[in-house]
Structure 1
Amino acid sequence: MSAELDLAGRVVELVRRVAGPGAEAEVVAVHSADALTRFANSAIHQNVAEATTTVRLRLHLDGRTAGGSTTVTGINGLESLVERTIAAARLSPPDVTWPGLTPPAELRPDAGFDEATAAASPQERADRVRDFVDAADGLETAGFCRTSYTSGGFASTTGHSAQGRTAEAAMDGIARLDGADGVSRHASGRLSDLRGVPMGARAAAKARAAGRAIELPPGRYEVVLEPTAVSDLLSNLATFGFNGKAFAQHQSFAQLGTQQFDEKITITDEPLGAILPFDLEGTPRDTLTLIDGGTTRAVSHDRTSAAEAGTTSTGHASAASRSWGPIAVNLQLAAGSGSGSGSGVDDPAADAGTGPTASSARALVSGMRRGLLITDFWYTRVLDQKSLVITGLTRNGVWLVEDGQVTTAVGNMRFTQSYPQALGPGAVIAVGTESVALPDRWSGVRFTAPALHLSSWNLTGNASG
């Protein structure tokens, strides 16, 4: 039994003793250890590490629900958590949406755990930073390398219990030349998969190719989106489109059983190995197919949104899911035929020889008569949630493509585009054959994506004015 499962079980026993047999309670104890090595001006300037154990209790008593948490895990801290949560429940209004507790259920098979990543040293992260900086060959660089380890345990008054652990590593860096930036990102469950040399070489090749950018008029352009840009599509689709609360409240575009996307599009959520194998309500996680060959098949649910929609939880409860809705945590867009998931790191020699185009997008660029190669999106915001119209900026390199060849760098542009429409039936010309695992900018979740060749993207103005 893990220390976290023991903690969760002790809180359940405290609830039974203090609140009586009529109380329903679920408890999650999670130990998180995060370490971050940051660099700027081509030198490491920060190395930090933090380890925290958090215990969360949700209690349903006499038809009323309340929750609480603590990082004080001694007996006094646990007793205080139980007592104040009981007091909060008695003061809360009746909870007519209470979905009940997760019944006992077995977890899916373990997807594997890398001890070396969980125990990674600052030197191991620094080695990758040094390789990135050296490979940039004199260009100014900045970014981070991070590792994290999570161990969790769940227990409830139904007798359900679960435990698991996971590790994650990610690196994100830029190289800069005369104000032009090139970027390279990669995420994995194994630190050994992150290789600073090809990442630094790719970022530098992009920066060198991005100088002397021209401005193009606004309009609709055929585009190739590199995986770094596609990850933003996946993030917004997960947060606002495949969100079970938004779906239950008719604020999502999702229509189950309807072909809303091009037949080349298949998107799944693959949480095992990327996050704990159970959610905050103890529901086991598993692969969830959201889009299958263009047809919308599912949205992500916790127990509350599932009850509202008349279905079952998909294992996506989180501390914020009752407020913000349940959100998928490791979306993967299936690569095109001929390849599965790649290592996520392209050959640096090949990249250096072909300028800005990483191998994940090179074949798609060669098939474009006239359009844009876009590396990344930034500062994206929702204008209309129902149709998922997004506005944002391109970043880290845009190039004009003519007759399958990159001809010139283009200045960053603003866009306003419905993401589902951009991926709609007939709108996807091709999907890249190599998938790249990429870190989310703000959290430990991942997105895995190939490049996309799309028939139309609505560029609405130049970033310069």
Structure 2
Amino acid sequence: MSIAEQVLEAARRAAGGSAEVDVNVAREHLALTRFANSYIHQNIAREADTVTLRIHVDGRTAVNSTTVTDDAGLAALVERTVAAARVSPADPGWAGLSGPAELPKLLAEPDPATGEAAPEVRAEQVRAYIEAAGGLTAAGFARNRKVVTTYVNSEGQAASGTVVEAVLDGIAKTPTSDGASRQASRLIADLDGAALGARARAKALASQDPVEIEPGEYEVVLEPTAVSDVLWVLGGYGFNGKAFNEGTTFVRLGEPQFDPAVTLVDDPLSGPAAGAVFDVEGTPRDRLVLVRDGETTAVVHDRRSALEAGVASTGHADAESAVNGAEPINLRLEPSAGAPPAEVDGPAADSAVMALVAGVRRGLLVTDHWYTRCLDPRRLVMTGLTRNGVWLIEDGEITRPVKNLRFTQSYPEALAPGRVLGIGSHAPAFASKYGVQSAMAPALRLAGWNFTGGASG
């Protein structure tokens, strides 16, 4: 009998036959290699089981977790969860458990070599990155992870699945500049430390001795690294089912809120980004179109927010969604049609970015966003800083590096009808620094971006 089945059986006996019970067991293997000053300075790995038990009985709900999975630890988990359920406040938003349902099929099975990669494999990627940085000081990390999840509940739903992911993220520095590059994939063999190190070096050298420019609204080309931040913010604040129910998001279903060039999907099944095909409530998760040709078509829900909205859950519950709302996990902004671009020298990431730059009369090329914070969730106005390279574009050419700028910008308004002047033909994958989300993000050329402060304030 599995741990999940053992806990489910024990909880049903302890809570009584009328109790609704579900159990989620996640075994995570996470391994990390860090480097700084162009040397590896840390290798760490951890493997742990987290067992989460949820009981709903007599109109009350309690949730508890443990990482102690011997018989005594599991018995204690059941005992305290049953006790908590008896004294918890009434839960009028309880949406019931998911019933038996078939899971969608991944287009490719999880790669064991990615989830179980040895330190030597990560070290080889780091070595290639540092050597390609060509004597510039390099720092960053390589990691691989595997999460095996088992879910069972008292309604008969049972699901299991594996997610694997590999990430390489680093910078190369000069005394006055730095250049960043990063990549995520379901296949560790897809990571290219030499190409990423060379890109970071080119960016760092091209952004030395930047000049200060006046704040204001500029046409921009956002590189994929900056666009990944835009997608995560749109997902977390905008396409969040709880926020939509509460009226605190910009989203208006069925309206053309974005430029017709924008199609945004949440897709765990295809592409290099890692994703699970069911959530912590056992609900299947399939490809979901959030924006099609500029029209907002969907938000994501867990069972609780779906009940309130009168729709079905989209399979986006997580441990915090009852409080923070459900969020998209594997966002992809569909790139423009065209063949994958070849790598080119210079500060731009690739030829897809350079093609967008060529159309700009006067504007800025932005590599990355940093320290972004929400000022107005209803309009989704964000403030943050540029990072890792900004350049002035004049008559379709990159002319000089620019000092970092602060921006204050509504993200959906930047992508509104008529504001998206171009989308790159290549959408690399990135892993979020803040959670388990991923994004596949092409470069964007936008009509305007509001910069509100320069290096001097």
Normalising by the residue count of structure 2, what TM-score does the alignment of the two structures yield? 0.97
Tell me what 1:137 maps to: 134
- SS of equivalent to 1:15: helix
Deviation at 1:444, TM superposition (A): 3.7
CA–CA separation in structure 2 for the residues paired with 1:124 and 1:149? 15
What is the aligned counterpart of 2:432 among 410, 435, 440?
Answer: 440
- SS of equivalent to 2:51: strand
CA–CA separation in structure 2 for the residues paired with 1:58 and 1:394? 43
Tell me what 1:43 maps to: 39
Deviation at 1:443, TM superposition (A): 3.0
CA–CA separation in structure 1 for the residues paired with 2:78 and 2:275? 27
1:74 equivalenced with 2:70 (yes/no): yes
CA contact 2:368–2:386 (8 Å) conserved in 1: yes
Tell me what 2:286 maps to: 286
CA contact 1:35–1:146 (8 Å) conserved in 2: yes
- SS of equivalent to 1:96: coil
CA–CA separation in structure 1 for the residues paired with 2:188 and 2:420? 34
Tell me what 2:419 maps to: 427
Deviation at 1:272, TM superposition (A): 3.2
Tell me what 1:233 maps to: 230
CA–CA separation in structure 1 for the residues paired with 2:351 and 2:337? 16
CA–CA separation in structure 1 for the residues paired with 2:437 and 2:185? 10
CA contact 1:209–1:356 (8 Å) conserved in 2: no
Range with bigger deviation, 10-19 or 249-258? 10-19
CA–CA separation in structure 1 for the residues paired with 2:277 and 2:347? 41
Instruction: Flag as ranges the 4+ runs of structure 1 deviating above 2 A.
Output: 354-360, 442-445
CA–CA separation in structure 1 for the residues paired with 2:303 and 2:279? 10
Deviation at 1:204, TM superposition (A): 0.3
Change (3 A) 1:216 1:114: same
CA–CA separation in structure 1 for the residues paired with 2:426 and 2:128? 24
| One-letter code aligned to 1:51 | E
Tell me what 2:373 maps to: 381
Range with bigger deviation, 196-205 or 72-81? 72-81
Percent identity reads: 52
What is the aligned counterpart of 2:179 among 171, 178, 182?
Answer: 182
Change (3 A) 1:355 1:19: closer
Deviation at 1:145, TM superposition (A): 0.4
Deviation at 1:18, TM superposition (A): 1.2
Offset from partner CA, 1:37-74 (integer Å, 9 cap, x none): 00000000111001010010111001100100111112
Deviation at 1:442, TM superposition (A): 2.9
Structure 1 unmatched runs, 5+: none
| One-letter code aligned to 2:243 | A
CA contact 1:168–1:191 (8 Å) conserved in 2: yes
Deviation at 1:357, TM superposition (A): 4.6
1:322 equivalenced with 2:299 (yes/no): no
Deviation at 1:463, TM superposition (A): 3.0
Change (3 A) 1:224 1:461: same
What is the aligned counterpart of 2:264 among 260, 263, 267?
Answer: 267
What is the aligned counterpart of 1:64 among 57, 60, 65?
Answer: 60
CA–CA separation in structure 2 for the residues paired with 1:198 and 1:16? 54
| One-letter code aligned to 1:394 | T
| One-letter code aligned to 1:165 | T
Deviation at 1:445, TM superposition (A): 2.6
CA contact 1:202–1:358 (8 Å) conserved in 2: no
Deviation at 1:76, TM superposition (A): 1.4
Counting matched residue pairs gives: 453
- SS of equivalent to 2:181: strand
CA–CA separation in structure 1 for the residues paired with 2:233 and 2:105? 29
- SS of equivalent to 2:365: strand
CA–CA separation in structure 2 for the residues paired with 1:21 and 1:183? 56
CA–CA separation in structure 2 for the residues paired with 1:311 and 1:324? 19
What does residue range 54-453 of structure 1 map to in structure 2 within 5 Å?
54-111=50-107, 112-272=109-269, 274-339=274-339, 347=343, 350-351=344-345, 354-453=346-445
Tell me what 2:14 maps to: 18
1:53 equivalenced with 2:49 (yes/no): yes
CA contact 2:348–2:354 (8 Å) conserved in 1: no
CA contact 2:329–2:436 (8 Å) conserved in 1: no
Offset from partner CA, 1:380-438 (integer Å, 9 cap, x none): 00000000000000000000001110000000000000000000000000101111111
Range with bigger deviation, 240-249 or 13-22? 13-22
CA–CA separation in structure 1 for the residues paired with 2:91 and 2:434? 32
CA contact 1:168–1:444 (8 Å) conserved in 2: no
CA–CA separation in structure 2 for the residues paired with 1:54 and 1:169? 21
CA–CA separation in structure 2 for the residues paired with 1:405 and 1:52? 51
| One-letter code aligned to 1:297 | T
CA RMSD of aligned residues (A): 1.2
CA contact 1:150–1:276 (8 Å) conserved in 2: no
CA–CA separation in structure 2 for the residues paired with 1:59 and 1:320? 16
CA–CA separation in structure 2 for the residues paired with 1:37 and 1:268? 32
CA contact 2:176–2:209 (8 Å) conserved in 1: no
- SS of equivalent to 1:335: coil
Tell me what 2:27 maps to: 31
CA contact 1:222–1:372 (8 Å) conserved in 2: yes
Structure 2 unmatched runs, 5+: none
CA contact 1:155–1:161 (8 Å) conserved in 2: yes
Deviation at 1:271, TM superposition (A): 2.0
CA contact 1:393–1:463 (8 Å) conserved in 2: no
- SS of equivalent to 2:392: strand
CA contact 1:294–1:425 (8 Å) conserved in 2: yes
Offset from partner CA, 1:337-364 (integer Å, 9 cap, x none): 224xx59xx63xx22xx34453331100
Normalising by the residue count of structure 1, what TM-score does the alignment of the two structures yield? 0.96
CA contact 1:118–1:148 (8 Å) conserved in 2: yes
- SS of equivalent to 2:373: strand
